Chains A and B, each alone.
Chain A
Amino acid sequence: MIPELGNFSLILAFCLSILLSVIPMAGAARDNLLWMKLARPLTAGIFVFLSISLLILGYSFVTDDFSVAFVANHSNTALPIQYKVTAVWGGHEGSFLFWTWMLSAWMLAVTVFSKAMPDDFVARVLAIMGMICVGYTLFMLATSNPFDRVLPLPPADGADLNAALQDFAFIIHPPSLYMGYVGFSVVFAFAIAALISGRLDSAWARWCRPWANAAWAILTLGLSLGSWWAYYELGWGGWWAWDPVENPPLITWLLGAAMIHSLAATEKRGVFKSWTVLLAIMAFASSLLGTFITRSGLLTSVHAFATDPTRGVYILGFLGLIIGGSLLLYAIRAPALKSEFGFGAWSREVFLLANNMILVVASAAILLGTLYPMVYQAMSGGDLISVGPPYFNTIFVPLMGILAVLMAIGPISRWKKTSATYLRQQLTRLAIAALVLGVAIPVLLTLEVPLATIGTAVLALWVIFAMTRDLWTKSGNKASRLAGLKGLSLSYWGMQLAHFGFVMTMAGACLTSIYSIERSVLLQPGQSAELGNYTFVFNGTVPVQGPNYIADEATVRVIRGDTHMLDLYPQKQLYTASGTPATKMGIDGRFFRDLFVSLGDPRANGAWTMTLYVKPFVRWIWIGTLFIALGGILAVTDKRYRRYKVRRGEAVSVNPESDSVASAAPVTRAGVTS
């Protein structure tokens, strides 16, 4: 009975979404305030009913209701409780419900944080998100209902959750990834609403920016957690595999990064308007494409959820409708979006444009590599190919290098026009210092000429020097340095932090690719193997019993020189309900290096095969992404995004930008209605 309530609740959410996508939109077109005002309560209703659905699905998991097909396929009585709850997103149907619920949560957030925006705009934004919600709920009801039953004969016990998913990261990776992913639909809705209303000014960009930054920052976290999880769970010691399902979020991330930079120019200078809108559409489309790739089973991947072609066809149809519709609207309305200001050949606008080009080209290249096998198969009449990591590395690495070069110059340059002399004067010494130190440090440390390391060091130092210089210059016009640093806006700090994070991730990725070593060995108990400066001694295995698995746990003693450093305990597990084996790595993670042991399979006389890894600097990748995400969040909290509210309440006068960058864009107050 209770699962049926969840189903009804889902149907109600579907009906409310239809109302939401029609009434406020019509109200905005006919200037009917009552109809527009319905947007907020309808949104709240959708959120409530989807929450009920989600809670009921969770309840079915916790109470082991195996008459629900989704529960029977993804849970088991012996499954630990935290995984029973999170198994809600452990399969196709449930994860889609969670995804849709996340959309409704973003919609609710829009209703809460949009008090300063005009009613017709809010109505349109929510109506567009309502349309997306119609698509998602209909998809669930039609092709993948999580509340489908196995009646009259439910199984006595469930098939258990996929062993690879029974891990802490599974509790946090999907929610953050979905939250970031779905967040881009807010920005998309803002863009479409702007196209419909023809209102695309600095105020619009100012409303849009916090949402874009928030979605992007959360997606950064989600991607980073996914990479970290793959690293320690899947056992190949890799942190990025260019897997067809890893790529779409990265494409969305890159387009999102392009968009938040282009939005900055749109807000401050009124330029790149139609480009920003196009980026918002593309970022959202790429998130749908990711959904399509994951759930259609068209591409071979570790993530492939389902192989049901009707789902693929449905999502493809939805994708076509959304992209076709929004591009059509764009084609009709974009010519009317006049960008306001001109800018010189050396200006911050130009550097932002270059940034956008690089990011878009990078995402296009990744898209090409991801879809190429599918296209090739269709064109050649069924021949199968795969595109390997070398392709992606060949394209991606140089592009990120160029991006790093520009990353140093962009923040130092000025809006509208920067004299080349000024840039030279600011940067020449920094460039020389970065070159000299970037060459000297690696050569002195390694006593050889490691070209790739030198390249990495030069780029990293170049950005960091320029960053420091910029901080120094911009904090100099106050009474004291400290006051100067305090006077810088939070969005400025967010930018610097995110750029620093990018450099750290880049350096970590390059250095770990250059210096990681690994070795697969067959060891008898008591035997040892050398790797780098370390000796790994295998001390045999003991059987261990987990809640829903049995395992062999090995003890591997790591010795450096003559000192015993630590013991690692990798496991080979067998999940009893599903009969699935899984490998649990033994990892010692430090700031400068990871030691990593992964068990293979047992041989005669207690011997095991295993792979040993030494991975220097690998942590920097994830620490860097944390800084990037933190930078994005910091930028969202900048008080100028809340200024309208303050102004309306206290009627204070317009203060000059707290940014040290003088803003030439007029501060529009036209959008404020109360």
Chain B
Amino acid sequence: MKPHRRKTLGIILFITAGLSLAIGLSLYALSSNIDLFFTPTQIAAGEVQPGQRIRVGGMVKEGSIRHNEQQLQVNFITTDYAHEVDVQYNGILPDLFREGQGIVAEGSVTPEGQFVASRVLAKHDENYMSVEVKAAMDAAERQRVMEQSQAQMQEGFQ
């Protein structure tokens, strides 16, 4: 092999080794740092392990916001209009957080079924519904339509 070929080969090997190392590390970091997204219906169905870090999205239920007057703590219910999740949060809610608004909360479920949020996100544009909340609403809607049609079918049989 000519010297300059050998040098080229060396550089290529060096780059390949570096790249594979980088890709390996990236994938490792990725696998341990993703947050799965769940809808209130999925949580109600017990698909989530207590303590697992997840995101949950839905609408803030009308009239469900309860402030604690002595502490920072706030409780509210997020819903996909099929099931509800009780969220507890110890912090400042974003500006656009309000009843009837789509939100995404990050945190984990306690064994008692309460969702403890470490962060609550609301969108900056009021007309804009996040992909996640929209997916939650759509899933609940599909579920409702399916149940309805099942009920109708059962009525039909009777």
Contacts and interface: CB of A to CB of B under 8 A. Distances in A.
B71 A372 contact: no
B108 to A, nearest CB: 14
Interface residues of A, number: 48
A523 to B, nearest CB: 10
B72 A522 contact: yes
Kindly list the 9 A-B residue pairs having the minimum CB-CB distance in the complex, ordered from nearest: A384-B37, A600-B92, A391-B33, A394-B29, A361-B22, A390-B33, A581-B95, A300-B130, A365-B26
Interface residues of B, number: 38
Contacts of B33: 387-388, 390-391, 394
Contacts of A394: 25, 29, 33
Contact of A386 (B19, B26, B35, B126): B35
Interface string B123-142: 11110101110010000000
A601 interface: yes
B91 interface: yes
A395 interface: yes
A385 B72 contact: no
A164 B124 contact: yes
Contacts of B30: 368-369, 372, 387, 391
Interface of B: 4, 7, 11, 15, 18-19, 22, 25-26, 29-30, 33-37, 55, 67, 69-72, 90-93, 95-96, 104, 123-126, 128, 130-132, 135
B92 A611 contact: yes
B19 A387 contact: no
**Interface of chain B, main secondary structure:** mixed
A300 B131 contact: yes
Contacts of A298: 131
B21 to A, nearest CB: 9
A387 B34 contact: yes
B37 A383 contact: yes
Nearest to B97: A601
Interface of A: 162, 164, 235, 297-300, 302, 304, 307, 342, 353, 357, 361, 364-365, 368-369, 372, 376, 382-388, 390-391, 394-395, 520-522, 578, 580-583, 598, 600-601, 603-604, 607, 609-611
Nearest to A357: B18
A600 B104 CA distance: 18
Contacts of B35: 385-388
A304 B130 CA distance: 9
A385 B11 CA distance: 38
Contact of B34 (A235, A385, A395, A522): A385
B7 A342 contact: yes
A598 B72 CA distance: 14
A302 B104 CA distance: 13
A240 to B, nearest CB: 16
A311 B92 CA distance: 36
B31 to A, nearest CB: 9
Given A368-B26, A386-B55, A520-B92, A300 B132 contact: yes
A294 to B, nearest CB: 13
B95 A582 contact: yes
A213 B124 CA distance: 34
Given A307-B128, A357-B18, A395-B25, A385 B36 contact: yes
A165 to B, nearest CB: 9
A389 to B, nearest CB: 8
A364 B18 CA distance: 13
B1 to A, nearest CB: 15
Contact of B91 (A307, A365, A611): A611
B38 to A, nearest CB: 9
Of B11, B30, B123, the most chain A CB neighbours within 10 A belong to B30
A522 B70 contact: yes
Contacts of B36: 383-385
B140 to A, nearest CB: 14
A366 to B, nearest CB: 10
A541 B132 CA distance: 37
Given A604-B69, A609-B92, A611-B92, 20 more contacts: A353-B11, A357-B19, A365-B22, A365-B26, A368-B26, A369-B26, A383-B37, A384-B132, A384-B135, A386-B34, A387-B34, A394-B29, A395-B29, A520-B72, A520-B92, A522-B72, A581-B96, A582-B95, A583-B95, A610-B92
17 contacts: A299-B131, A304-B125, A383-B36, A386-B35, A387-B35, A388-B33, A390-B33, A394-B29, A394-B33, A521-B72, A578-B126, A580-B95, A600-B92, A603-B67, A607-B69, A609-B72, A611-B92
B34 A372 contact: yes
B79 to A, nearest CB: 18
B70 A395 contact: no
